[in-house]
Every structure is written in structure tokens, then in C-alpha cells.
Amino acid sequence: EARQKCASRNAARGPRAHWPEREIWALVRLWEDHLPDLRGARRNGPVYEAIARALAEQGIVKTKEQVHSKIENLTTEYRRWSRKHTGQGAIPWIFYFEINRFLGSLPVNDRSLVEESVCNPLSTVEKIITAMEMGSGDDYSFHLDEEGSLSAAAEAHAADFESTMPQGVVGSSQQLPPAVAIATTQQQPKRKRKRPLTAGEENQLAMIGEQRLLRQGLEDYRRQELVLRERQVKAEEELVDVMKEYLKKSKMWKSQFVLLLCTCYH
């Protein structure tokens, strides 16, 4: 029921906006400019409104909701590529490295990457139910992507949350009154899961690995250079010995030749 309610609200936004590549680049630049505001504001609606006005000054007419939705879709796409790839040149999405320049160092759960609504991929099921029980559900809406479907990350997050609970507890919570179900859900111990690495941490690990390879290659090069120098010194010493022997023999033959000439004249 909550999903249908949120879906109907998003449907009221009208047809999805078409964003040409030029407009997306303009949006990404404004997104970076307003990133501190998005991170610090409790409600980001005024920030999206400011971005929409800045786009209008460039001749790009978009509503606040369309700007909000597009930034979320870009964030989802950025995270998807960050999980799949880490090396530069392996990502065909043209906006990845520009967005990664200002989002790569942020933590995964940073406010600027989080949807204001409880239907965000990072929102938990507990927060959704609590907000609806306290009557604040009217302030939220499920986010629909540009194709009109619910965010797959949100559904996956909800499924992961339910998987951490025993099957009997999940079924009984659905049959209990909402307030009791919330208390039962919150009392269940959660399975600890390893926090996924952020794009910035993955880049740091990649840089550390590259530095290790560079150090190893430099050490190998120095060892080879030392061996070559030792061989060169040895070859020079052998050459000196050969030259000495040659000069010694040359002097001996010269003296014998002089004696032979003297004998012939006498």
C-alpha cells in the first residue's frame, strides 16, 4: 500500500524529462558547485530549486523534481559502475570520472548521496515504518527512475534487511499491530555485514598496489644495474690485463728485432 501511494505521487510529476548530453554536463557542473549545500542542508528541496534556476539561466528548463530525479539517477549509475570497475579506461560511461572527481572521496552514506525520502536505497525498513506510524509519511515519496520503475537498490536493501531476520519473526511481525511489529523488529539482533568499500577507498587500494609494483620494479632494476656494473668492471680489468700482456710481448719483440739488426750490420 505504501509503495502504491508513493508510486502514485511520483506519477503525478508528469512524463519523464529528456536530458541531452549537453544538459547533463551542465547539471553535473552545477551539482558539484552545490555539493556543500546538499551535504549540509537537512532538506535539499531549496538546493534543487537553485540548481533548476541556474539551468534556466543557461536556457535549460527543468523543474526542481526533474533535477532531483536526474541527480539521483546519476548517483545510482555512478555507484553501479564504481562497484563493477576500478581502473581508468575500463568504464564506458562518459560521466563517471567527472562525477567521481567530487563524489569519489565521500563516504557511501554521505547525506549528499542520500535521497531525502525514506524510499531511498540507503533508507532502512525500520525508518520507513516508523515515519509512516508517526504520521510523517506525507513528507516522503518513493523515488522512481526515468523508466518509471522503483529503484532496484531500494528493493535490494529491503530484501537484505529482511534476510537478516528469522523467517518466523518476519511472518509474525506482519500479523502484529504496526507499533508492536516495529518493536519486535528492532529487538532482533542484526547480522553483521562487512561494509562495502567506497570508490575512494578502492582507488586508494589500487594506488597502493601500483606503488608496490613500482617499488618492486625499481628494486629489480637496481639489482640488474648492479650486476651489469660488476660485469663491466670485471671486463675492464680483463682488458687492462690483456693490454699489459700485449705491451710486454711487444717490448720483448722490439728488443729482439733491434738485436737482430745489429747482428746483421756487424
Is the per-residue pLDDT at 7 higher than 70?
no
Is the per-residue pLDDT at 26 higher than 90?
yes
Most confidently modeled range among 119-123, 143-147, 154-158, 237-241: 237-241
Mean pLDDT, range 183-202, rounded to an integer: 68
Query: What is the distance between the alpha carbons of residues 53 and 40, in angstroms, rounded to a whole number?
Result: 20
Torsion angle defined by CA atoms of residues 109, 110, 111 and 112, in that order, rounded to the nearest 10 degrees: -120
Query: What is the distance between the alpha carbons of residues 64 and 49, in angstroms, rounded to a whole number?
Result: 5
Most confidently modeled range among 23-32, 100-109, 130-139, 199-208: 23-32
Query: So what's the pLDDT on residue 208?
Result: 92
Question: Where is average pLDDT lowest: 163-167, 220-224, 230-234?
Answer: 163-167
Higher-pLDDT residue of 197 and 92 is 92
Mean pLDDT, range 63-87, rounded to an integer: 89
Most confidently modeled range among 18-32, 72-86, 89-103: 18-32
- Compute φ and ψ for 107, nearest 5 degrees: -65, 160
pLDDT tens track for 159-171: 444 444 444 444 4
- Compute φ and ψ for 144, nearest 5 degrees: -105, 140
- Compute φ and ψ for 47, nearest 5 degrees: -70, -45
Give me the residue spans of the domains in the chain.
Answer: 2-163
Question: Where is average pLDDT lowest: 18-32, 80-94, 170-184?
Answer: 170-184
Q: Count Cβ neighbours within 10 Å for each residue of 163-196 and write b for 16 or more, e otherwise.
A: eebeeeebeebeeeeeeebbeebeeeeeeeeeee
Residue 218 CB partners (closer than 8 Å, separation 6+): none
Query: So what's the pLDDT on residue 201?
Result: 82
Q: What is the DSSP string of 183-214?
A: HHHHHSPPPP-PPPPPHHHHHHHHHHHHHHHH
Question: Where is average pLDDT lowest: 57-61, 173-177, 241-245?
Answer: 173-177
Determine the residue type at 199.
Answer: A
| The total number of residues written for the chain in this structure | 266
Most confidently modeled range among 7-21, 58-72, 225-239: 58-72
Is the per-residue pLDDT at 75 higher than 90?
yes
Is the per-residue pLDDT at 23 higher than 90?
yes
Q: Give the closest residue to 4 by CA, choosing from 94, 137, 172.
A: 137
Query: What is the distance between the alpha carbons of residues 141 and 153, in angstroms, rounded to a whole number?
Result: 15
pLDDT tier for residue 249 given thresholds of 50, 70 and 90: confident
CB 106 within 8 A of CB 175: no
Is the per-residue pLDDT at 83 higher than 90?
no
